[in-house]
Structure 1
Amino acid sequence: MEETEIAYQRILDKLYNDAVVELLSSSFDKDLLIKRLGEIQDSQSCFYCPSKEGIQGRRDEEKQSKSDSLKQETDYLEFMMNCVVLQRHYLNRFREYLSDNHIQEAAEPEPTESSLKSKEKGKEEDANIIKGVEGLAKYLGCGKTKAQEILNSGVLKRLKIAYQTGNRWRVKKDKLDELLNNNPTALR
């Protein structure tokens, strides 16, 4: 049963990452998505889902009765509970993704002399920056989904190699190269 749960988690993880890639590459109505997530979570609360305590109680009963049918039923209920927990986890990740921490960048103000000088300096720094999920995928020679998985893992963010500007990812090329030179399998 555990292998099935792992396979289910992989499917949900792929669906989540594919959805995030699509969100990043298209315009969407954030409020509508948040509303829909709330509706999904409300509808989930209508389903019967046993608690961990309920499962444990059934396991205790199963040991006393030594019933194969009770064991199979409890295994199924535990699998179902774990699937619902995974679904809730991904729904919460979507809510988090759509939260105010990921608001798109505000429009730029009219340029001033100092901002123009700053832009010149920024162009030099931009040469060392990989922009977005697609840019990272191209740089690493992998798919957009894998690049999104790498960014979602938080490894590059913790190492101060990647950061977000609004809802857009930026990755420092020199730091990424250093990481990969020191540890070629770091992002697998």
Structure 2
Amino acid sequence: MATLLKIQTSLFQGDGQSSQLAERFARNWQARNPDGRVVTRDLAAEPTPHLDAQRFQAFITPPEERTVEQREMVKLSDSLVEEIAGADVLVLGVPMYNFSIPSTLRAYFDHIARAGITFRYTPEGPEGLLKNKKAYVFITRGGFYGEDHSQTALLRQFLGFIGIADVEFVHAEGMAVEDAREGSLAAARDRIAQLA
């Protein structure tokens, strides 16, 4: 049974435009995969804690040497890694906040970037271990920044770092521009229909 993991990051949760585009794609996917499973992670409703020294130390301590407190800290990260590792398709709804990704998504990334688990270092450089997955990223922005913006580059680089190299981006820009908003959203919805 195929699994789609939908991660929404808008402060407005399901009402955010990026969340709605991701949900539209997930519904289309579910229609094409009636036996498939859709798992939703809402990082606004359930934010992942930001990384601190104690949590990072817990991640890198060998499991058999972790204290009770460290085991509790690692438990969430382990469950997030298990969730994304078990997904065949990853869907991200990502608004632009202050020229980058939401801080909740960055915190989530810090919890799933685990050396020896989701990536490893080799003499030839890092190797992502979450392979054979397809990702769809729906980005919404108030203004116009283009597909080569650093926000897109960051997402592409991070996903590639953990092994997800097959990534499709759909941008809906001009959300704060009244004359452009509806046309941009319509174009994004058309692209979703094409992807389906």
Assess same fold via TM > 0.5.
no
- Structure whose CA Rg is larger: 1
Pairwise TM-score range, normalised by the shorter structure? under 0.3
Q: 1 or 2, which has the higher helix percentage? A: 1
Structure 2 length-normalised TM: 0.24
Q: 1 or 2, which has the higher strand percentage? A: 2
Structure 1 length-normalised TM: 0.25
